[in-house]
Structure 1
Amino acid sequence: MPADVGELLPRAAAANAQGAAIFMRLGPSARDGHPGTVMLDDLNAEAATRIELDGFQPALTVETSPGNFQIWIRLIAAGELPYPVVRVAIKRLAELYGGDPRAVSPMQPGRLPGFTNRKPKHRQADGHFPFVRLVDASGCIAAAGTNLVDEIKANLPAQRGRAQGAASETPPVAAVSSRPPAMEDFDALDRIRQAQEERIRAEAKRGSRPMDAFSASEIDFAAVVVALCEGVPRPMLEAWLRMRRPEKAAGYAALTVQNADRYLEDQTSTPQPSGRP
């Protein structure tokens, strides 16, 4: 609620002054079905202009540092989109307009206007950091959004069968529970976990995280949080944890996913400083 967010602004401002980054992202309900609003990161002014001319008019434009923009695009007017469609859409738009290829999650957070961008590279000569600036908030729907979505749906293998008269799309949970998880899915989750282990190890090494917080369970938790943000179904995550951590108690996988889910609900309901994912 706006009032709840307003009450947290002083705390967010204090955290920002101490070096934390303040982000915003789609709300918790977007984990059940994606609303079709995507964010492109690290765009220059020329790309921002081309996006509008090409029919992907921004719903929200934020200048995160001088000459660098994050653009939020509403691909559809109402309803929800399957996560695989959203992933392809973000990656394609990032490739077309030079966005950060690492920031292409369907739940990618963006910087919240009104706070400073505390990345060390943006420190100014006087020691201050640039403010994240709201450029435009039209909320408009991109004219070319529907065409892009339709094209992606037509070319996704799972969607082609549907177009030929198959039953409506199987919900992600049912799809996972009705077939053995593909090993390539587990390989992708392994890569997420490895990246989180490297991040946590680096934080512990430089002293921003206590060494006793660097544990296998902590890494599992961080990886599950990232995977949930990517739209990976919960049963898939539980199956992955059970396979990769057979030494753990029977309820470990379900509890880890449940705790990560609750953590994300807390994070997405309020502006949060950067830190634990």
Structure 2
Amino acid sequence: MKMEKSTQQLNLYPPETRFIIKMKNFSTGDVKILNDINLSEYEKSLKYLKYLNANGYNVFLSACKAGGVYILLDDIKKPAIDKLFTDGFEPFYFLQTSPDNFQAIIKLSDSPLDKDIQTFASKQLAETYNADPNSADIGHFFRLAGFTNRKQKYSKNGLFPFVKLYAGTGNTCTKGESYVERILTGIDNGFIELLPKKHITTPPAKLGERKTLVSGCGAYIEKVYKSGNKDGDLSALDFKAARYALRKGFKPDDVINAIKLFSPKLESRKSGHIDDYISRTVKNALYNAI
């Protein structure tokens, strides 16, 4: 017996995952919820969900207690999906929700994270890949495969497009853990402030994984400068050195000290505001160290 597409989608999550199913009729505004159900309970509700979908309701999913951090990139295009794979943010899976639009579900981490950190990561990736910023929060629902998208603008001769499921890696994305680590480093070093007057410390498990300040950071930065064009845009070269070093996992304070030591003509270029300039450069590099 062929498995339902929506069941295939839910089967991608760990067995202990609980789900919230939301059904919404955009014409009437009516909303119905199936709360805190498992896969077996979902399968028993399929006929009911299909009935609602046929009568104008859109069907959405949220996964709870899924064993890790999953984020949604909403309303992105196929080239952005391809770039996610190229950049190391391979989708856990992705959905085609209408002829030109996709949703990507990305598993960033195997370990739980503070909700504010998850939201920050979602918003940063949404900006990078031109996703809908209004959907970049961990509580946002996404589509269920096998049901139709009942938005009227997609209706053709009374028919609506089915939401299609596409396989991703089914695992944590390649750069997920290092991306989270850069965010945690930025918080600890004051480069990233999530909420006013709120301090979020790095989980103890993460602290032990940090690369400490070693001569390797200075040597790496010096190598970037030696290979760069010293007659070109030196500010761009500073940014390149910072981004490359952060990608390697060096701490921002170490990168700041190394740039201060090796950046060409720094005293004459940035006289009077060297510390502020380097701090801003490293902060910008943290946001772009993908």
TM-score where L is the length of structure 2: 0.51
Is residue 2:135 matched to residue 1:113?
Answer: no
The residue number in structure 2 matching 1:21 is 58
Quote the Cα distance in structure 1 between the aligned partners of 2:160 and 2:51: 15
Q: Report matched runs for 1:105-184 at 5 Å.
A: 105-124=137-156, 126-156=157-187
Q: Secondary structure at the match of 1:93?
A: helix
Q: CA deviation at 1:167?
A: 10
The change in CA–CA distance for 1:86 and 1:45 in structure 2 (over 3 A counts) is same
- Judge conservation of contact 1:117–1:129 (CA < 8 Å) in 2: yes
1:189-221, Cα deviation, whole Å (9 max, x unpaired): xxxxxxxxxxxxxxxxxxxxxxxxxxxxxxxxx
Q: Does 1:59 align with 2:92?
A: yes
What SS does structure 2 have at the residue aligned with 1:48?
Answer: helix
Question: Unaligned stretches of 5+ in structure 1?
Answer: 161-165, 171-277
Q: Distance in 1 between matches of 2:136 and 2:162?
A: 24
Kept after mapping to 1: 8 A contact 2:188/2:202:
no
Could you tell me which runs of 5 or more consecutive residues in structure 2 were left unpaired when the two chains were aligned: 1-37, 192-198, 204-290
Question: How far apart, in 2, do the equivalents of 1:111 and 1:159 lie?
Answer: 37
Amino acid at match of 1:22: V
Q: Secondary structure at the match of 1:11?
A: helix
Structure with greater proportional helix content: 1
Q: Structure 1: how far apart are the matches of 2:200 and 2:122?
A: 27
Secondary structure of the corresponding residue to residue 26 of structure 1: strand
CA distance in 2, matches of 1:158, 1:117: 44
Using the TM superposition, give the Cα deviation of residue 66 of structure 1 relative to its aligned residue in structure 2, in angstroms. Answer: 1.2
How many Å separate the matches in 1 of 2:59 and 2:91? Answer: 21
Of Structure 1 and Structure 2, the greater strand share is in: 2
Q: Give RMSD over aligned pairs.
A: 2.5
Letter in 1 for 2:59: I
Whether the 8 Å contact between 1:75 and 1:141 is mirrored in structure 2 is: yes
Q: How does 1:165-204 map to 2 (within 5 A)?
A: none
Indicate if the aligned counterparts of 1:26 and 1:107 stay in contact, CA closer than 8 A: no
For residues 144 and 190 of structure 2, the distance between their equivalents in structure 1, rounded to whole angstroms, comes to: 35
Sort the Cα spacing of 1:16 and 1:167 in 2 relative to 1 into closer, same or farther, 3 A. Answer: closer
Q: Whole-Å Cα distance in 2 between the matches of residues 167 and 83 of structure 1?
A: 11
| Match in the other structure for 1:93 | 125
Tell me by how many angstroms 1:104 deviates: 0.9
The change in CA–CA distance for 1:85 and 1:19 in structure 2 (over 3 A counts) is: same
Q: TM-score, normalised by structure 1?
A: 0.53
Q: Percent identity, please.
A: 31
Secondary structure at the residue paired with 2:45?
Answer: helix
1:79 aligns with 2:111: yes
Other-structure match for 1:176: none
Q: After superposition, what is the alpha-carbon deviation per residue over 1:206-255, rounded to whole angstroms, capped at 9, x for unaligned?
A: xxxxxxxxxxxxxxxxxxxxxxxxxxxxxxxxxxxxxxxxxxxxxxxxxx
2-side partners of 1:167 and 1:129: how far apart?
Answer: 45
Q: CA deviation at 1:60?
A: 0.9
- The Cα offsets for residues 23-63 of structure 1, whole Å up to 9 and x where unpaired, read as 11122x47xxx821111100101111111100000111111
